[in-house]
Amino acid sequence: MIKLTNVSKYYYSKNNVVMALRRINIELKIGEFIAITGESGSGKSTLLNVISGLDTYEEGKMEVFGNDISHYSVEELETYSREYIAFVFQDYNIIDSYSVLDNVLMALIVQGMSKNARLEQAKMLIEKVGLTEQMHQKASKLSGGEQQRTVIARALAKNSPVIVCDEPTGNLDSASANQILTLLHEISKDKLVIV
Ligand code: ADP
Ligand code: MG
């Protein structure tokens, strides 16, 4: 469903060229839980950005859901990204002064559901990530692991087939990190989750 063939990406600056991706070949499918590992600077974020349509590349071919998107314009890539990809970053993109519920509700507003349907869906997602008891707490009062669960609930609210997580456990202790990975693994049963 997402297939990269010999994809290379370079960063150009004044005096030098960095080869951030060198002939990447990878095929990813719904239902898979994929971990991309490597030392700092090895190109993990670059690869995630390319897969997500947030960044372009210089060489190779990329196919998503049966479409060859190698020659997509920036606008077309944005549309692909908006439709197919939800993000979980390590610097939690949630609103501190909002409750868990309001953070998730906000992510549902764009979906054009009725207010009641949104509330029901938000509660379901919050239950899925194990935060029912904390639903009315402000995000700023949550632990790191709980904040990341809120981010995951928001990503799920987008209802996209692919969830891309760039170092989702980077700021967490190992116990919380394991719980988050277990949750992402469960989620991958009917989505593609790339960490
Ligand atoms: P990782 O996420 O594995 O730490 P990155 O994908 O961020 O690695 O970076 C891969 C390489 O590309 C590194 O050498 C990094 O310095 C370089 N790089 C990343 N982003 C840029 C950029 N915007 N401009 C120039 N070089 C970059
Ligand atoms: Mg990175």
pLDDT at 110: 83
How close is the Cα of 29 to the center of ligand 1, in Å?
Answer: 26
Model pLDDT, residue 146: 95
- Residue 79, CA distances (Å) to 3, 4, 52, 73, 82 in order: 18, 19, 11, 10, 5
Signed CA dihedral, 157, 161, 167, 173: sign only: positive
Residues bordering ligand 2, an ion, CB closer than 5 Å = 44-45
Q: Do residues 52 and 164 touch, judged by C-beta distance below 8 A?
A: yes
Tell me, in angstroms, the distance from the centre of ligand 1 to residue 48's CA: 11
* Nearest CA-CA partner of 51 in 75, 76, 74, 84: 84
Q: Which atom of ligand 1 is nearest to the CA of 167?
A: 2
Helix (H) or strand (E) run with residue 182 in it? helix 174-187
What does the pLDDT look like over 86-139, one tens digit per residue? 999 866 678 999 999 999 999 999 888 899 999 999 999 999 999 999 999 999
Report residue 56 as tokens: 């372009």
Do 176 and 188 contact (CB within 8 A), yes or no?
no
- Closest protein CA for atom 24 of ligand 1: 11
**Category of 2 on φ-ψ map: left (φ > 0), alpha (ψ -120 to 50) or beta:** beta
First to last CA, the chain: 17
Q: What is the pLDDT of residue 149?
A: 94
Q: Is 45 in the pocket of ligand 1 (CB under 6 A)?
A: yes
User: In this structure, what DSSP letter does residue 6 have?
Assistant: E
Whether ligand 1 lies within 6 angstroms of the CB of 90 is answered as no
From the CA of 89, the nearest ligand is 2
pLDDT in tens, 4-56: 999 999 999 889 999 999 999 999 999 999 999 999 999 999 999 999 999 99
Which ligand lies nearest to the CA atom of residue 17 in the structure?
Answer: 1
Q: What is the pTM of this model?
A: 0.93
Shortest-distance ligand to the CA of residue 43 = 1
